[in-house]
Amino acid sequence: MKPHFHKVPVPIQDSFSVRHDKLPNFGKPLHYHPELELHFTIKGEGIRLIGDNVSHFREGEVILLGENLPHAWRGKEHEITDAADYSVEAIVIQFSPACLGKDFFQLPEAYLIPRIFELAKKGLLIHGESADLVRDLMYRIVKANRFERIIYLLQILQIISEREEVTTIASAHAFYKPNENESMRLNNVIAYTLTNFKKDINLEEISVIANLSVNSFCRYFKSITNKTYLDFLTEIRISHACRMIMEDRFSIAIVCYECGFNNVSNFYRHFKRFTGYTPFEYKRKYKEQCVA
């Protein structure tokens, strides 16, 4: 498994990286890098991990990640029957705060941008008209020549910083920079949890995956994520439940058991704790938003 730190490849002739990915899955384990990242999901859905936040993602999402913020996208895979087929598609822009010169974003005219860079250390979900404008510019930046790319990047940052149609994603304590051994251990724990969250996972079982005693694992996981493993597992289950409720193909009882809960009352209690709504209230709220 790759180390937690990811070296962003930037062509020597360019100031920052622009990619248009079409892949079976996003692939990378939980990782971080000193570059900011603007991530536009064109196709795909699944679970994303940003700092200490676990949520579902779907097509259309635009997210700005700050420096060294741990993140990973895990798409819902489907069977690939054609070489040209793919499960996920995204445009990704990765850039250093100093990509246009050490002091460029400190200019008086750009005074709003450093504040957005600071907020992005928690991850920013961009919404509203801002998201529409940014998506359009990200499509353009892929096809643009090298000088035009600089102009489009500045326009994107101007939209995000001036309109402020953003919501922070992770908590203030989300950043943690583990060493390589801890990275491998954390990635193993996350991968196992995402694969097996529908069944019972007890602390003894997951501690074996981490190669630690139960007490050591509990301290280790809490120190990295600022939450208990059982809360992390429940967040993944509730996130999956939210997606199933929005799809509206199954009863709440079926959703409960499909997401790894043993009884409906326990599911209701945890759902209300993590979302602030009962499953039926959440379903009604989602339908009202769709109508609006």
**Structure tokens belonging to residue 60:** 């259309």
Burial of 81 (0-12, 13-18, 19+ CB in 10 A): exposed
Q: Which residue has the higher pLDDT, 124 or 77?
A: 124
pLDDT of 79 > 60? The answer is no
| Over residues 111-131, mean pLDDT | 94
pLDDT of 224 > 70? The answer is yes
pLDDT of 176 > 70? The answer is no
Whole-angstrom distance, CA of residue 215 vs CA of residue 213: 6
pLDDT of 126 > 80? The answer is yes
User: Regarding the domain delimited by 17-168, which CATH topology (the fold level of the hierarchy) does it fall under?
Assistant: Jelly Rolls (2.60.120)
pLDDT of 60 > 50? The answer is yes
pLDDT of 142 > 70? The answer is yes
Whole-angstrom distance, CA of residue 112 vs CA of residue 127: 18
At residue 3 the predicted structure's pLDDT band, cuts being 50, 70 and 90, is very low
Whole-angstrom distance, CA of residue 272 vs CA of residue 268: 6
Q: Which residue has the higher pLDDT, 20 or 173?
A: 20
Q: Which residue has the higher pLDDT, 6 or 135?
A: 135
For the chain, the domains span: 17-168, 180-291
Per the prediction, the chain carries an average pLDDT of: 86
pLDDT of residue 2: 35
pLDDT of residue 227: 83
Lowest average pLDDT, out of 112-116, 224-228, 236-240, 262-266, goes to 224-228
| Over residues 107-116, mean pLDDT | 92
User: Regarding the domain delimited by 180-291, which CATH topology (the fold level of the hierarchy) does it fall under?
Assistant: Arc Repressor Mutant, subunit A (1.10.10)
User: Does the reported pTM lie above 0.75?
Assistant: no
Percentage of the chain exceeding pLDDT 70: 86
pLDDT of 206 > 80? The answer is yes
**Structure tokens belonging to residue 265:** 């009352």
**Neighbour-count burial for 237-276, b at 16+ CB within 10 Å, e otherwise:** bbbbbbbbbbeeeeebeebbeebbbeeeeebbebbeebbe
| Over residues 63-92, mean pLDDT | 78
pLDDT of 235 > 60? The answer is yes
pLDDT of residue 16: 94
Percentage of the chain exceeding pLDDT 90: 52
pLDDT of 276 > 80? The answer is yes
